Structure 1
Amino acid sequence: MQRRSLLLAVACCGVGVWFPAHADGLSALESFLRQTQQGRAAFTQTVTAPRKDGEAAPRARTSRGVFEFQRPDRFRFVYTHPFEQTIVADGQTLWLYDVDLNQVTARAQQEALGQTPAALIAASPDLRGLTQVFDLRNAPDADGLTWVLATPKQRDGQLQWIQLGFRQGQLAALDILDSFGQRSTIRFEAMDTQPGFGAEHFRFQPPAGADVIRQ
């Protein structure tokens, strides 16, 4: 269950757009929101748990996969390593398919994504819409990236904060801290911004025989 809640919390998207080299993070984010309509990129995600007493170092695990999205409200995460899982938002429903369990969980998309990275990036056309849900500010440059810090205005959700890192016009990283102290860092590879998704690309059909749970 912990693995599933984390996957839902980090459902997100990223893609490259051009902006001047001197632009700050908020300018880069606004350009991204206005100019990018769809994309596909491979990603690597590292999740670090809070260090427990007696541990020499925090526990970390790494997963990999492919992310796709189409504005305003469709996206797909396909995790391929170490576990096969798929998260699909089709505009109405958020689907999570766990291959090992042969189990599908379905939730109303609007309710599930209210204060997640997906809501921050994929669903809003500009910064004005985001400021209704998040407090946004520029964060210090680090690791060669220009950063934006987004803090949910409602503090009773799963997230403490989200940071978005841009490099040369591309959203290159997400850094997410949840309410349990787990930190998730997602690094995107080069984004294909013209994948030409068809009308049915983000439709999800539960596999035959899968256990479907609707929440």
Structure 2
Amino acid sequence: MTTSSRFMHRTLRWLGMLALPYAAAHADGLTDLATFLRTTQQGQASFTQTVTAPQKDGAAAPRSKTSSGTFEFQRPSRFRFQYTQPFAQTIVADGQQLWLFDADLNQATVRRQQDVLGNTPAALIAAAPDLRGLHSVFTLSNAPDADGQQWVRATPKGKDGQLQSMQLGFKQGQLATLEMLDSFGQRSVLRFGPMNLQPGFGSGHFVFEPPPGADVVRQ
């Protein structure tokens, strides 16, 4: 074997070794979800959310509303949704409490986090440590690939919540889309921009302090 042949042989072998983990890591949606939960400890991304009401009898088309903002999370169990359009709203989970602040009303509602996040999308993204933890709350399965994404379907095992089903789409291993269907037939789709996995959050980033004069409702 000539020197050039040996070099090519080694190069092909190295390329194969590099390619195999990528193929395995992105073989299907469940694999992508498992890798995401295992390796992603924090993240920050812009998002656009479209909420479509169920179609009523005789209606020409279902009504849709679109909003946008930023989503940030840090394991375990901390996240922030900052809606900027069309209205300013903030949802913050600090690990113990969940805050919802409506800027127009200057009103903050606070509840115990564990009472409201058992089988929600936020719990799936920000709180679940691995697939084993998710399997106790959701029935998980691969869904057909579509839109250049690999999909996972998650159905809550409990029947007492408002979430009927959920799908997560991954593109090149990163969370790109989250689709939710509630028990009233309303569909919500969040599309995420490129995710920054090293945002460098400060120690108090997920602590919410109501503005002076805000009406605080504790539930």
TM-score (ref. length: structure 1) = 0.90
Cα 1:22–1:90 change in 2 (3 A) is: closer
Q: Name the counterpart of 1:131.
A: 135
Contact map agreement 2:100 2:109 (CA 8 A) in 1: yes
Distance in 2 between residues matched to 1:159 and 1:47, nearest whole Å = 14
Q: Aligned-residue CA RMSD in angstroms?
A: 1.2
Q: Name the counterpart of 2:12.
A: none
- 1:29-67 CA-to-partner distances (Å, cap 9, x unmatched) read 000000001111000000000112232100001000001
- Equivalent residue in structure 2 for 1:142, among 146, 162, 168: 146
Q: How does 1:16-27 map to 2 (within 5 A)?
A: 20=23, 22-27=26-31
Q: What amino acid is the match of 1:180?
A: F
Which has the greater radius of gyration? Answer: 2
- Equivalent residue in structure 2 for 1:166, among 163, 166, 170: 170
- Equivalent residue in structure 1 for 2:124, among 111, 120, 124: 120
Residue 142 of structure 1, CA deviation: 1.1
- Equivalent residue in structure 2 for 1:39, among 36, 40, 43: 43
Distance in 2 between residues matched to 1:74 and 1:154, nearest whole Å = 23
Distance in 1 between residues matched to 2:58 and 2:87, nearest whole Å = 28
Q: Name the counterpart of 1:29.
A: 33
Cα 1:191–1:22 change in 2 (3 A) is: closer
- Equivalent residue in structure 2 for 1:103, among 103, 107, 111: 107
Distance in 2 between residues matched to 1:101 and 1:54, nearest whole Å = 35
Residue 19 of structure 1, CA deviation: 5.0
Q: How does 1:175-190 map to 2 (within 5 A)?
A: 175-190=179-194
Secondary structure of the residue aligned to 1:155 is: coil
Residue 198 of structure 1, CA deviation: 1.1
Structure 2 residue ranges without an equivalent (≥5): 1-20
Contact map agreement 1:159 1:178 (CA 8 A) in 2: yes
Contact map agreement 1:92 1:110 (CA 8 A) in 2: yes
Distance in 2 between residues matched to 1:148 and 1:96, nearest whole Å = 28
After the TM superposition, which parts of structure 1 deviate over 6 Å for at least 4 consecutive aligned residues?
none
Number of residues of Structure 1 aligned to a counterpart in Structure 2: 198
Q: Name the counterpart of 1:194.
A: 198
Residue 124 of structure 1, CA deviation: 1.4
Distance in 1 between residues matched to 2:211 and 2:68, nearest whole Å = 22
Contact map agreement 2:26 2:32 (CA 8 A) in 1: no
Structure 1 residue ranges without an equivalent (≥5): 1-17
Contact map agreement 1:41 1:67 (CA 8 A) in 2: yes
The alignment-based identity, stated in percent, is: 71
Q: Which has the higher contact order (CA 8 A, sep 6+)?
A: 1
Q: What amino acid is the match of 1:197?
A: F
Specify which structure has the higher proportion of helix: 2
Q: Name the counterpart of 1:87.
A: 91
Cα 1:23–1:201 change in 2 (3 A) is: same
Contact map agreement 2:26 2:173 (CA 8 A) in 1: no
Secondary structure of the residue aligned to 1:148 is: strand
TM-score (ref. length: structure 2) = 0.88
Q: Name the counterpart of 1:56.
A: 60
